[in-house]
């Protein structure tokens, strides 16, 4: 319960997560039918990058700060358009002070029929998230351990949806919880699109994590990873990954265009790398 995302808002990991989340939302909007985004670890929803906490780490400068100043080739600009348009709408005077968390970003991309369910356990953060969406009939904000939402809140009544699971990874065993949480959720809602975030850092059990996911025998699982620097002599976050279950059929090709561009823009040393591959399913 100590984790506060304000220190990390808009960093390179947020860029990858939010760029992909925006692609998923846009894809589901190819059909008129409504869908729901379920955000299990929602945070406060909107972050002030001029705050003391964000300024203390300055992580956003090497994330969204770089992205907004980069020259984008047309294909990459198109793929990032929903995400970057939302960010710019929050900062009409230019530059960047306000940055949307996942629930705010999804909500900004919605059509009238789309809905949000956001969970946050931290009491103070829940209050801020609740205030942000007060009076918004498209959003349901719940003070709840997000892991419980994977049982209690699935399937959504719309029968279509994106489930974003983005835990803080401040306790041991979070990779295992992610596997167990997906297994439970998928049994209840096998047709949903799931987006699971995880950190890349020195000695992280990524191989065992991927093998445990493969053992679930969920038919389609796509993995995207972006590393911005070497973990040699560094114990903090060096990259992040996403597991996308039931991904749009277009997403693999989009990642092959997007990830190399993000690597070039966000690299912090010559060891930056990226990859997108099937954990299970199409190859």
Encode pLDDT of 29-45 as tens digits: 999 999 999 999 999 99
In the structure, what pLDDT confidence band is assigned to residue 3 with cuts at 50, 70 and 90?
low
- What pLDDT sits at residue 6? 79
Nearest to 91 by CA among 46, 132, 52: 46
In the structure, what pLDDT confidence band is assigned to residue 53 with cuts at 50, 70 and 90?
confident
Q: What is the mean pLDDT of residues 243-252?
A: 97
Encode pLDDT of 98-129 as tens digits: 999 999 999 999 999 999 999 999 999 999 99
- Quote the domain boundaries for residue 109: 5-280
**How far, in whole angstroms, is CA 20 from its chain's centroid?**
7
Q: Residue 91: which CATH number?
A: 3.40.50.150
- What pLDDT sits at residue 233? 82
Q: What is the mean pLDDT of residues 186-209?
A: 96
Task: Evaluate the omega torsion of the peptide bond into residue 155 and state whether it is cis, within 30 degrees of 0.
Answer: yes
Which two tokens mark 236? 């903090």
Q: Do residues 40 and 192 make contact, with C-beta atoms less than 8 angstroms apart?
A: no
For 72, 108, 205, 283, the CA distances from 216, given in Å and listed in that order, are: 38, 34, 17, 18
What is the domain count for the chain? Answer: 1
Give the C-alpha separation, 94 to 251, whole Å.
30
Q: Is 166 labeled as catalytic in the residue annotation? A: yes
Catalytic position from the list 78, 125, 166, 231: 166
Mean pLDDT, rounded, of the chain: 95
Residue 72 has pLDDT above 70, yes or no: yes
Q: What is the mean pLDDT of residues 206-219?
A: 97
Q: What is the mean pLDDT of residues 45-66?
A: 92
């Amino acid at each position: 319960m100590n984790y506060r995302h304000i220190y990390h808002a808009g960093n390179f990991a947020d860029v990858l997560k939010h760029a992909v989340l925006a692609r998923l939302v846009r894809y589901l909007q190819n059909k008129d039918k409504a869908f729901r985004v379920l955000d299990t670890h929602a945070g406060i929803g909107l972050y002030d990058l001029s705050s003391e906490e964000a300024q203390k780490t300055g992580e956003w400068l090497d994330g969204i700060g770089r992205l907004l100043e980069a020259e984008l080739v047309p294909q990459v600009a198109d793929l990032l358009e929903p995400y970057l348009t939302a960010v710019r709408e929050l900062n009409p005077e230019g530059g960047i002070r306000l940055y949307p968390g996942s629930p705010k970003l999804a909500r900004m991309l919605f059509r009238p029929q789309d809905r949000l369910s956001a969970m946050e356990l931290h009491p103070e953060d829940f209050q801020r998230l609740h205030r942000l969406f007060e009076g918004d009939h498209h959003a349901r904000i719940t003070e709840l351990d997000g892991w419980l939402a994977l049982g209690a809140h699935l399937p959504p009544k719309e029968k279509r949806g994106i489930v974003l699971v983005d835990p803080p990874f401040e306790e041991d065993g979070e990779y295992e919880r992610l596997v167990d949480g997906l297994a439970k959720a998928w049994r209840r809602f096998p047709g949903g699109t799931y987006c699971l975030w995880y950190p890349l850092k020195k000695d992280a059990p990524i191989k065992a994590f991927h093998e445990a996911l493969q053992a679930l025998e969920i038919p389609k699982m796509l993995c995207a990873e972006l590393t911005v620097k070497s973990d040699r002599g560094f114990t903090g976050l060096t990259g992040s990954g996403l597991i996308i279950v039931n991904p749009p059929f277009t997403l693999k090709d989009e990642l092959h265009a997007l990830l190399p561009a993000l690597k070039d823009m966000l690299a912090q040393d010559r060891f930056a790398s990226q990859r997108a591959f099937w954990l299970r399913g199409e190859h």
